[in-house]
């Protein structure tokens, strides 16, 4: 190979690395699928396959939410494994030593083929195309107007009209009576919480002193000192609500509505659930990364500094997405909220189910790898 061809090949690789090319092709395909209607056909076909099996449209909508969750499992696996890195904390150490670290721009990350960056870009586009397509699907009035045959795959049974069972039925605990313990009771509870906060700060000070003077870890779990100020505000709000409206009588109620029209109540519930889900995942991810950073020997001051910033980011993202979910979907038929609500309910259990399986498998894989290379290293 001549020198000119070699230089040209290296130049192409430098400006168009393979990960960037693959990511570009995926993004182009996703945009094409959305604009051409391929993504609409995919989700519409899935919905009407479930309808052919169940005969109930509201159940089919729930099944579509479950189906969407299953489709996103590969992305979830990668996100969990990516969350095992502690680069944010490592950058925090660099910031303390050398001042603010330079953040690479979008163009620089793309040109360098940053795999983590490219994954999150592709992940974002996949999520965006999926949810906009589902919203577009449920904005289509296929309940009273027969859906076009070309909108479904050839093997999908065409539905008989009118569409059956569009009213969803969701059981929920219904509060029948509440007790107001009074503002004085709340003040007592708030005082206990604040004293507990101060106690935690004292324990954290002892923990730091133990590390600094004795060069060994304190018996006080560092978990108790994470996000204390942020948690305290949230817990005080919950405490105020419970002391003024403590439930004393419950029964199982049935929340119902038509999936073909907007439902403000379900919309508000979905928005609140979105806020809690995003906040919950943010806290779980940040706590996991902080534990890894602590095990890696990163200074406690850096961990606490980065955690506070990460907690603020999680709170900001949760509020913005929750408000977005409320205002943007307010005019969309409640089928969209029901499908997304189903996905969110399943997601709430993932830190205790799927995430644990993923992390367990990753740990076992590392143990096997370490065991296999140990003899060679010896």
Choose among 369, 362, 368: nearest CA to 77: 362
pLDDT above 90 covers a percentage of the chain that reads 12
- Sorted by where each begins, the domain ranges of the chain are 3-180+245-377
Q: How far apart are CA 269 and CA 346, in angstroms?
A: 15
| Mean pLDDT along residues 149-174 | 87
Q: What is the pLDDT of residue 218?
A: 43
In terms of residues, how long is the chain? 378
93 in Cβ contact with 298 (< 8 Å):
yes
**What is the pLDDT, as a whole number, of residue 264?**
83
Of 44-58, 143-157, 178-192, 262-276, which gets the smallest average pLDDT? 262-276
Average pLDDT over residues 172-191: 87
The pLDDT, as a whole number, for residue 211 is 61
Q: Extract the tokens encoding 143.
A: 């309940």
Q: What is the pLDDT of residue 245?
A: 87
Structure confidence at residue 50 (pLDDT): 94
Does residue 378 surpass a pLDDT of 60?
A: no
Residue 283 banded pLDDT, cuts 50, 70, 90 = confident
Whether residue 165 contacts residue 59, with contact meaning beta carbons closer than 8 Å, is answered with: yes
Predicted TM-score (pTM) of this structure: 0.68
Residues 317-338, mean pLDDT to the nearest whole number: 78
**From CA 22, how far away is CA 26, in angstroms rounded?**
6
pLDDT at position 43 is 94
Q: Which residue's structure tokens are 């690789």? A: 13
Helix axes 264-295, 87-98, angle to 10 degrees: 60
pLDDT of residue 164: 87
| Higher pLDDT pick, 338 / 100 | 338
144 falls in which pLDDT band (50, 70, 90)?
Answer: confident
Please give the Cα distance from 240 to 185 (Å, whole number). Answer: 9
Instruction: Identify the band that residue 251 occupies on the pLDDT scale cut at 50, 70 and 90.
Output: confident
CB-CB contact of 47 with 140 (8 Å): no
pLDDT at 248: 85
Pairing of strands 167-179, 246-258: antiparallel
- The two structure tokens encoding residue 178: 């509440």
Q: Where are the alpha helices (DSSP H) in 140-227?
A: 183-214
Q: What is the pLDDT of residue 127?
A: 85
pLDDT of 292 higher than 90: no
Q: Which residues in 242-258 are b (16+ Cβ under 10 Å) and which e? A: ebeeeeeeeeeeeeebb
Kindly state the percentage of the chain with pLDDT values over 70.
69
pLDDT at res. 153: 92
pLDDT value of residue 106:
55
- 58 near 163, Cβ under 8 Å? no
> Mind listing the pLDDT tens digit for each residue in 18-75?
778 888 899 999 999 999 999 999 999 999 999 999 989 999 999 998 898 888 888 8
pLDDT by residue (tens digit) across 85-138? 545 554 544 444 444 444 455 566 666 666 777 787 888 888 889 888 988 888
- Check residue 6 and give its pLDDT: 47
- Among the listed residues 146, 147, 143, 183, the one whose alpha carbon sits nearest the alpha carbon of residue 164: 143
| Cα separation, 228 vs 200, whole angstroms | 8
Count other C-beta atoms under 10 Å from residue 377's C-beta: 6
More confident residue, 165 or 315: 165
Q: φ, ψ for residue 249 (rounded to 5)?
A: -145, 130
CA–CA distance, 316 with 176 (Å, rounded to integer): 34
CB 101 within 8 A of CB 6: no
**Using CA atoms, how far apart are residues 273 and 258, in angstroms rounded to an integer?**
20
Segment among 77-86, 123-132, 223-232, 266-275 with least mean pLDDT = 223-232
Average pLDDT over residues 344-350: 72
* pLDDT at position 51: 93
Q: Which stretches of the chain are assigned E, i.e. beta strand?
A: 167-179, 246-258
- The reported pLDDT for the residue numbered 320 is 79
Question: Hey, which residues does 104 pair with through a beta bridge?
Answer: none
What value does the CA radius of gyration of the chain take, rounded to a whole number of Å? 26
Q: Could you give the angle at which helices 300-328 and 264-295 cross, rounded to 10 degrees?
A: 160
Task: Give the chain's count of helices (H) and strands (E).
Answer: 14, 2
The mean predicted confidence, pLDDT, of the chain is 75
- What's the pLDDT at 225? 47
């Amino acid at each position: 190979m001549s020198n000119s061809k070699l230089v040209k090949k290296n130049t192409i690789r430098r400006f168009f690395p393979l990960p960037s090319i693959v990511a570009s092709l995926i993004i182009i395909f996703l945009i094409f699928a959305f604009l051409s209607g391929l993504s609409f056909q995919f989700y519409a076909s899935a919905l009407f396959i479930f309808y052919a099996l169940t005969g109930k449209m509201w159940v089919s909508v729930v099944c579509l939410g479950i189906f969407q969750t299953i489709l996103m499992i590969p992305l979830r696996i990668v996100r969990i494994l990516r969350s095992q890195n502690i680069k944010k904390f490592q950058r925090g150490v660099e910031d303390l030593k050398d001042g603010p670290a330079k953040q690479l721009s979008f163009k620089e990350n793309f040109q360098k083929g940053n795999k983590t960056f490219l994954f999150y870009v592709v992940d974002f586009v996949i999520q965006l195309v999926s949810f906009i397509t589902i919203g577009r699907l449920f904005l289509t009035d296929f309940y009273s107007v027969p859906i076009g045959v070309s909108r479904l795959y050839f093997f999908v049974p065409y539905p008989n009209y009118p569409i059956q069972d569009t009213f969803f039925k969701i059981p929920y605990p219904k509060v029948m009576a509440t007790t107001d313990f009074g503002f004085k009771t709340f003040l007592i509870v708030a005082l206990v919480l604040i004293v507990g906060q101060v106690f935690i700060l004292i324990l954290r000070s002892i923990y730091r002193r133990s590390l600094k003077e004795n060069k060994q870890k304190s018996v006080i779990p560092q978990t108790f000192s994470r996000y204390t100020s942020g948690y305290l505000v949230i817990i005080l709000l919950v405490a105020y609500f419970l002391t003024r409206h403590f439930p004393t009588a419950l029964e199982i109620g049935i929340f119902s509505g038509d999936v073909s029209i907007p439902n403000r109540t379900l919309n508000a519930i979905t928005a609140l659930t979105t806020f809690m889900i995003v906040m919950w995942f943010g806290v779980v991810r940040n706590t996991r990364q902080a534990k890894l950073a602590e095990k890696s020997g990163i200074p406690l001051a850096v961990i606490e500094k980065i955690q506070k910033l990460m907690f603020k980011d999680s709170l900001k993202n949760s509020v913005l997405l929750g408000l977005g979910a409320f205002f943007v979907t307010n005019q969309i038929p409640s089928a969209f909220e029901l499908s997304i609500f189903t996905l969110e309910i399943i997601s709430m259990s993932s830190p205790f189910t799927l995430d644990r399986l993923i992390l367990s498998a990753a740990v076992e894989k590392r143990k096997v790898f370490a065991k296999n290379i140990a003899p060679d290293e010896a």
